[in-house]
Structure 1
Amino acid sequence: MSSTTVDRSALPSSAPPPGSPARRSLRANPWLTLAAVAFGLFMVQLDASVVAIANPAIGRDLSASTADLQWVTNSYLLALAASLILGGKLGDRFGRRTFYLAGVAGFTLASVAIGVTGSIEGVIVFRAAQGLFGGLLMPNTLGLLRAAFPPRRFGTAVGIWAMVSAVSTALGPIAGGVLVERVSWESVFFINAPIGIVALLFGAVVLPQARSEGTGRRFDVPGVLLLAVALLLLVLGVVKGETWGWSSAGTLGCLAAGLVLLVGFGVYETRIDQPLLPMRLFRDRALTTGTVVTALNFFVLLGVIFFVMLYLQNVRGLSPVDAGVRTLPLSLASLAASPLGALLTGRFGPRLTMPLGMLLQAAAAFGMAAWDTASPYGAMWPPFVALGLGVGMVLAASSDAIVGRAPVRDAGVAGGLQATALQIGGALGTSVLVSLIGGRVGATLTGELTAAGVPAGRAAELLHARDAVAMGVAPVSPGMPDSLARAVVSGSHQAFMNGVHTAALVTGVLCLIGAATAAAGLARTGRAAPGN
């Protein structure tokens, strides 16, 4: 059986001598390892959520089309999805510190390149580069923690990891709003430079070179290609489904081809000695359940944040900064939930915290289904708190269920599996909920406009603007009489809220299904064997 070793290899001459007590102390300290990976994790997660705020400014400055702006997001998602499990496997095989630091350096350089490129094509290309390097960085954060912490303390480490992840994601809209409004859209990417430099220097000093020995010399190149193409097709089908149409040949073809290749990948992996993703991991019911619920967790988080920001900015008229401030309860609840979730998971296992977290998210979604176009803030912050608590608890519990139960030699692969589930779930959440909102808007817009006082003929003409209304934007044209403009705004916003209600109710039902799945899948599962 393979084992995990820690190589406390020497750094340049400016560092303490390799055999010195100072060097041994630094690289043997798991809490310093946690602090080091937190920098890289914070950078990637913050970047993922601030870019959405910067997109309108990028479009105006670079004369980008809506399709171009979609690819600013999609190129990142596609590259990230294709590289996460590979990044974890490379870290397990050749050294987790090496590939973590390579990911930090590459992500930082790609971020700076986006800010100086000056063209929308350059932004898209370097966003894809960010995704590739993020795929090296993300899974090895958890791989390094799994190797550094003893089983009894791994849950606490994961709780802090989850806290950093959740808070950086939730703070993104605030940070992005401030930077775009007060500095420039380029600053959203330049801010990664100082964070990346600190992460690189600190990590180079304190991180141990954890790797798994006894894996042989072969590398599963066919598996890499099969999985990369399968995930590319699946994510492409998901992110383009709303644009192409969910029943279109392009969407169905991408999804079907991706699923066929994914099944083929699974079959192939069972027939080779040194697989990229060992299928034996999925014999553990808790690990499999954790992967599914992890995807659902970020489906809810990113999908809900997307339509909440549309509601706050386009319906309620708040600035990006003000909208971000209104969501602070979500961030603060996440901050509290992650260590609490880790504590409860360490004592009772994920069978308590994972269903509880999904139930809290269900409560948040059903609370949002009661919002209207003029809901007071007192009706908004309780769902934000419930959502933050739920997401933080599930993230801590799912990390324990996936990475904590995987053998140490597969820690990087398990981290890649969790990160892949996060990204695919987030892409699905945004795309599916936007599609639900758009469909409901199209079905109710004409009726809501006429009910608000818009003449029937004019209401029918405005149906062509349903895509704008699905983003919360009322199609008021210059020169429109004030009374008609008020009616158009009222009817359009009500149609958008109809879509939000549908999306929130569907999300709530999915959370209840997720809670039941977690309760059933984690029932009577023991803790992972420490020596695994």
Structure 2
Amino acid sequence: MSTVSLRSTAGRWVVTSSILASAMAFIDGTALNVALPSLQRSLHASGTDLFWVLNAYMLMLAALILLGGTLGDRLGRRRIFMIGILIFIAGSAACGLSGTVTMLIIYRMIQGIGGALMIPGSLSLISSAIDEAERGKAIGTWSSVTTLVTIGGPVLGGALADAGLWRYIFFINIPIGVITLLCLWWKVPEQEVPADVPAQDYPGAVLIVCGLALLTFGFLRVPVSGFSSLTAYGSIIVGGTLLIAFVITEQRSKHPMLPLYLFNNRTFTGTNLLTFFLYAGLSGSMVFLSLNMVQVQGYSQLESGLSFLPFTLLMVFLARLAGTLADKYGPRWFLIIGPFLAGTGMVLLSLVQQTNGPSTYWTTFFPGIFVLGIGMTITVAPLTATVMGCVGSQLAGTASGVNNAITRIAGVFAVAVFGALAVLFFSGSIQPSLQDMPLTAAQKAAIMAQTANLGNAAVPEGLPLNLQTQIIHIYHQHFIQTYGKIMAMCGLLGWLGSIMAFIFVRPTVTKDKHQNTGNR
């Protein structure tokens, strides 16, 4: 399919179908973040179980999204896009019917497989189908609308969770997915696949899947068994080794799933480093912000979701403008200032202590959320357009897959690493507070056992009322301290993303032959 104008009927259908599919995947994650406390109570899940519910999806997404991008380039973008949507719908239905946290984790993995085939297709369709002069505006439109539903997800998730209907977070994907499939089937033609399409890089796919799985498993075992555990550090070491083997394999492969020569392009390298640091910080901050609001600060899940509305409104009204301005003036300063402001917003959020609940939102959480929203609004569309503009259209799916993979890998490791650190910080800070309390060794052990549940830690039964009150205060006080440390680390990651843009992104992005092909 030759490129078309964004304003044409064909252009509108391409963008509409891409938005619907992306929204289905992104809203699922943000809505679920807010509903975690409700899910935890309903399925009797521990804090570690919660991180697995998040990471089971992100792990499969991160591990397979490169394969999804290259499959689209080689077998047809619309075809792979539609297969991914079908798998995602099936996984969503199964998640909604899960009776145990173990089954939910398994079905979340199926969702991740579908997402890995689906998500690269959305941006690669836009990049390869829309005229180059309007590509930034199209991606800005995609960014603003998907962000509306993505950040609007917490409102939906909070309302459903408060009503005891968290399962409908998954069921809502079914009608959206069916509508998207109909749009693609009737209105978006398949793009021509080159006759000399190369073979798939299955060894590379196996290595990256296994490497990421073992790394994530190792980090998630740390809070339970400690760094001295063979299962924890053994998994981390083996997972890291497999990822090194993946890089070596890709260097030697005739048809790699990740063409390493793309990283010879300075801008492509810099924007993907920026993506990793920024989205690691964003993923970690969103999870802990929601847990803090609901489990400690007295917000309902709906109120927690509504607290993100300033972020939503900024993205809706300004993301497309940011994409247009980046097309006109170049993306460099957008990519420097945006992540810096996002990191600053996270740091501001880290300073929030115990509040009086939603009544003090405007003077406690709002300033940080507003600055974070401004930073992400400035960043998202220029970042995406810059990544896709660094390569030729023949590698659009691969470039989208690489950048989306890095986004998901960042999320996986943020949730895994920050989850492990949070439990360590939380339990380590509480233990000294119990030393001078009139508690038996068994009672202290029972109190410490609850730290694995983080903000949902419950006071063991049988304690006097005055001790219960003290322990609840200790739980809340030390969770807020832990939250502050994690949020500050997330902010530092945002600032690192800004530094990557300053170092690597040139004042103007030239589109010469060398850049477009990643010339060796």
Provide TM-score, normalisation by structure 2: 0.88
**Contact 1:27 1:206 (8 Å CA) reproduced:** no
CA distance in 2, matches of 1:265, 1:409: 23
Match of 2:253 among 253, 266, 272: 272
Identity among equivalent pairs (%): 28
| 1:29 alignment partner, SS class | helix
What is the Cα deviation at residue 495 of structure 1?
A: 1.4
| 2:62 alignment partner, SS class | helix
- Aligned: 1:507 with 2:467: no
What is the Cα deviation at residue 67 of structure 1?
A: 5.9
Match of 1:49 in 2: 30
Deviations 1:362-404 (A, max 9, x none): 2112212321112632121011011122223332232123222
**Contact 2:6 2:12 (8 Å CA) reproduced:** no
**Contact 1:27 1:207 (8 Å CA) reproduced:** no
Match of 2:385 in 1: 400
Count of residue pairs brought into register by the alignment: 509
Match of 1:107 in 2: 88
| Farther off after superposition, 237-246 or 520-529 | 237-246
CA distance in 2, matches of 1:25, 1:169: 23
Match of 1:374 in 2: 355
| Farther off after superposition, 268-277 or 243-252 | 243-252
- Aligned: 1:333 with 2:304: no
Match of 1:15 in 2: none
2:416 maps to a residue whose letter is S
CA distance in 1, matches of 2:265, 2:420: 34
- Aligned: 1:86 with 2:71: no
Deviations 1:313-364 (A, max 9, x none): 1111221112111222222233344224313322333311112111112211
CA distance in 1, matches of 2:376, 2:6: 35
Match of 1:127 among 101, 108, 124: 108
Pairs within 5 Å for 1:289-438: 289-374=270-355, 376-377=360-361, 378-438=363-423
What is the Cα deviation at residue 255 of structure 1?
A: 3.1
| 1:499 alignment partner, SS class | helix
Match of 2:242 in 1: 261
**Contact 1:296 1:425 (8 Å CA) reproduced:** yes
Greater RCO, 1 or 2 (C-alpha within 8 Å, sep 6+): 2
Task: Give the direction of change, closer, same or farther, for the CA distance of 1:494–1:459 in structure 2 (3 Å limit).
Answer: farther
CA distance in 2, matches of 1:517, 1:363: 16
- Aligned: 1:203 with 2:188: no
Task: Give the direction of change, closer, same or farther, for the CA distance of 1:497–1:175 in structure 2 (3 Å limit).
Answer: same
CA distance in 1, matches of 2:75, 2:325: 34
CA distance in 2, matches of 1:240, 1:295: 23
CA distance in 2, matches of 1:26, 1:502: 47
What is the Cα deviation at residue 444 of structure 1?
A: 2.9
Match of 1:95 in 2: 76
Task: Give the direction of change, closer, same or farther, for the CA distance of 1:356–1:448 in structure 2 (3 Å limit).
Answer: farther
Match of 1:162 among 117, 123, 143: 143
Deviations 1:150-202 (A, max 9, x none): 22221112222222443333222221122233362322211111111111111
Match of 1:487 among 453, 458, 470: 470
What is the Cα deviation at residue 458 of structure 1?
A: 3.6
CA distance in 2, matches of 1:310, 1:69: 11
Task: Give the direction of change, closer, same or farther, for the CA distance of 1:385–1:156 in structure 2 (3 Å limit).
Answer: same
What is the Cα deviation at residue 507 of structure 1?
A: 2.3
CA distance in 2, matches of 1:94, 1:38: 22
CA distance in 2, matches of 1:443, 1:61: 28
| Farther off after superposition, 72-81 or 196-205 | 72-81
| 2:166 alignment partner, SS class | coil
What is the Cα deviation at residue 7 of structure 1?
A: 11
Deviations 1:197-227 (A, max 9, x none): 1111112222231255254353322232233
| Farther off after superposition, 265-274 or 439-448 | 439-448
Structure 1 residues without counterparts, runs of 5 or longer = 9-23
1:218 maps to a residue whose letter is A
| Farther off after superposition, 108-117 or 84-93 | 108-117
- Aligned: 1:518 with 2:467: no
CA distance in 2, matches of 1:432, 1:25: 41
What is the Cα deviation at residue 65 of structure 1?
A: 6.3
What is the Cα deviation at residue 68 of structure 1?
A: 5.3
Provide TM-score, normalisation by structure 1: 0.86
**Contact 1:241 1:431 (8 Å CA) reproduced:** no
Pairs within 5 Å for 1:139-178: 139-178=120-159
**Contact 1:160 1:339 (8 Å CA) reproduced:** yes
**Contact 1:76 1:130 (8 Å CA) reproduced:** yes
CA distance in 2, matches of 1:303, 1:91: 30
**Contact 2:74 2:198 (8 Å CA) reproduced:** no
What is the Cα deviation at residue 423 of structure 1?
A: 1.0
What is the RMSD computed on CA atoms of the aligned residues? 3.0
Task: Give the direction of change, closer, same or farther, for the CA distance of 1:391–1:254 in structure 2 (3 Å limit).
Answer: farther
What is the Cα deviation at residue 513 of structure 1?
A: 2.3
Task: Give the direction of change, closer, same or farther, for the CA distance of 1:441–1:122 in structure 2 (3 Å limit).
Answer: closer
Match of 1:465 among 420, 424, 447: 447
Task: Give the direction of change, closer, same or farther, for the CA distance of 1:447–1:114 in structure 2 (3 Å limit).
Answer: closer
Task: Give the direction of change, closer, same or farther, for the CA distance of 1:490–1:120 in structure 2 (3 Å limit).
Answer: closer
| 1:471 alignment partner, SS class | helix
Task: Give the direction of change, closer, same or farther, for the CA distance of 1:157–1:186 in structure 2 (3 Å limit).
Answer: same
- Aligned: 1:224 with 2:224: no
Match of 1:11 in 2: none
CA distance in 1, matches of 2:251, 2:503: 27
CA distance in 2, matches of 1:49, 1:302: 10
| Farther off after superposition, 50-59 or 268-277 | 50-59
